[in-house]
Chains A and B, each alone.
Chain A
Amino acid sequence: QVRLQESGPGLVKPSQTLSLTCTVSGGSISTDGYYWSWIRQLPGKGLEWIAYINYSGSTYYNPSLKGRVTISVDTSQNQFSLNLRSVTAADTALYYCARERRSDYGNYFDPWGQGTLVTVSS
């Protein structure tokens, strides 16, 4: 069964870049029909989808993040990564990676990683 695990610093200074990696185990990141997403849970504000990528590098970003985001994939390591630039305290959140199943009948996130808390503070 596929498992996802986030890794990265738990504390980032304002104006710096938040960098996280998601390692996929139990299955290949290069499987057709799946995209790989980052989602964050903001304190008291619910869930916000950030971006997705597939194994060939096709990406889509949430316009709300105003061009601060880059997502990348490393198929040799079975990993994908998130970079969020120019962070502020508003980017403090629990960050999840998730596999997105995409089909003509809809898309859904399953499974999710356990999440990693990132705090933006000096």
Chain B
Amino acid sequence: DIQMTQSPSSLSASVGDRVTITCRASETISNYLNWYQQKPGKAPKLLIYSASSLQSGVPSRFSGSRSGPDFTLTISSLQPEDSATYYCQQSYSAPDTFGRGTKLEIK
């Protein structure tokens, strides 16, 4: 199985900050990388698919990118409602696998 490594595992940032979360796969996955947001007691919600495509209805402050083997989720200006855990997921090779998550807290 392809292993997904997310970093950091947790972070704390202030409203208005630019936040980046990184995900790296154990082998090449092309752009088959998705990002999800999960709030406590809720199901994960799709934010970004195919590395950089913004899901309909998701605020434009969320963006995704790829640089070589590293995939990045960026929140351009952090809002209080962005407090959540963020997961990456690869769909290049079955079985689909997820990162362990990044817990984002608002200072």
Contact = CB atoms under 8 A, between A and B. Distances in A.
A64 B95 contact: yes
| Size bin of chain B's contact surface | 20 to 34
A108 B34 CA distance: 7
B99 A46 contact: yes
Given A113-B43, A114-B43, A115-B43, A106 B95 contact: no
Interface stretch (B10-18, B19-27, B44-52, B71-79): B44-52
Contact of B44 (A63, A101, A106, A109): A109
Question: Secondary structure at chain A's binding surface: helix, strand, loop or mixed?
Answer: strand
B55 A106 contact: no
| Size bin of chain A's contact surface | 20 to 34
B55 A46 contact: no
B25 to A, nearest CB: 13
Contacts of A110: 45-46, 49, 55
A64 B32 CA distance: 21
B91 A46 contact: no
Contacts of B89: 47, 108-109
Closest 10 pairs (CB-CB, A-B): A112-B43, A107-B91, A110-B46, A47-B98, A108-B49, A106-B32, A62-B95, A108-B34, A49-B96, A106-B50
